[in-house]
Structure 1
């Protein structure tokens, strides 16, 4: 082989080598990305330098959000005692029933529906409502009231007395109230302006009773 042939082959090899490098040395977009270092291989953050007299910032601790609870913190001990006695008790379901009872009892009282009140109230509460209805009827008055909404309702107290449980619920509600005379004329109240009410009702039920319903025991303005 002549010297010219050797030089020619060397030039060809060098040219092919440059072409191969130009292809393999470029990223095509399909290559595997570099593996990120494991947590222990990452560089630690640089320490914060404090000037003289400064104190390190306190760690932020978010306050527990209790807005979604159906009971006040003061009622928690009583609820635990009730649960220990009656494993079937569920505070969420109780509050669903308590809100429904609040609406049903008020509407029954406004309409003079003694039968519904008899089913939802104990003897003393029923008699108080029935007496008020009788006095209203004697005056020839009717109530044209409407429960606009229940803004909030929470268990505030739980009492255990032998085999009976008493649960107090605090209601905040908006009610539009109108009183009419025997001729249907409005003599008090307003249907356009709802009044805010603040009521505290106590329900009771015998533990172990086959009747799952709670009866209204007391009703008072908070």
Structure 2
């Protein structure tokens, strides 16, 4: 089994037993804190089932329905490239890990868990999270956020060069979020009103690395 076939599962194994699962969102109408400084989009062939471990099978002639797939059509070419580099890559398994990573990273941000963020993010993403946490602590504020549910999570793009692979996942989720001041008083948000989030998270991993973990590289609005 190659490192790519493990994908994010190794990351889950390392942290699943130690972290609670939850999520964070971007700003609500009450000017909630941003998740992470955003950056900036992606095109489309016909769908191919890439989570069954068979990269060689041809797409069905009139198969335009992507409802059951873990990727969007625009990602197919990149996924083929990744499968050519690692025939054991499993998109379905990758997405299981990607959803778990989404929950763990955001729970860590909400609870100011810098150690967990350090293990799950690359340097730039980690520093952005820590900067936001530091600013929040200086203001004496805490977040009381809760994931209502992940409505959709799909691969939207795969990019490869000689040094690394990058996979972008689009997450659509509902989140209840509130901000409290140093005295625990509610100053923004509502736990009874969930906000819809629609974000693109990009994970990266060095090609040929013995480390199977994928790290969060950036977050942007979809």
What TM-score comes out, normalization by structure 2 length?
0.71
Shift in CA distance, 89/63, structure 1 to aligned 2, threshold 3 Å? closer
CA distance in 1, matches of 2:131, 2:203: 20
Q: How big is each residue's C-alpha offset from its partner over 1:177-204, in whole Å with a ceiling of 9 and x where there is no partner?
A: 0000000000000001110001100000
CA distance in 2, matches of 1:211, 1:191: 39
Matched, 1:161 2:161: yes
CA distance in 2, matches of 1:163, 1:86: 14
CA RMSD of aligned residues (A): 1.3
In structure 2, the gaps of 5 or more residues are: 1-60
CA distance in 1, matches of 2:220, 2:74: 20
Which structure: greater helix fraction?
1
Structure 1 stretches (4+) deviating beyond 4 angstroms? 61-64
Greater relative contact order, per chain length (Cα 8 Å cut-off, separation 6+): 2
CA distance in 1, matches of 2:133, 2:116: 13
Corresponding residue number in structure 2 for 1:105: 105
Q: Are 1:180 and 1:188, in contact at CA under 8 Å, matched by a contact in 2?
A: yes
Q: Are 1:86 and 1:207, in contact at CA under 8 Å, matched by a contact in 2?
A: no
CA distance in 2, matches of 1:86, 1:131: 36
CA distance in 2, matches of 1:62, 1:125: 41
In structure 1, the gaps of 5 or more residues are: 1-60
CA distance in 2, matches of 1:88, 1:213: 16
Q: Rg bigger for which structure? A: 1
CA distance in 1, matches of 2:111, 2:88: 34
Number of equivalenced pairs: 162
Q: Are 1:105 and 1:117, in contact at CA under 8 Å, matched by a contact in 2?
A: yes
Corresponding residue number in structure 2 for 1:25: none
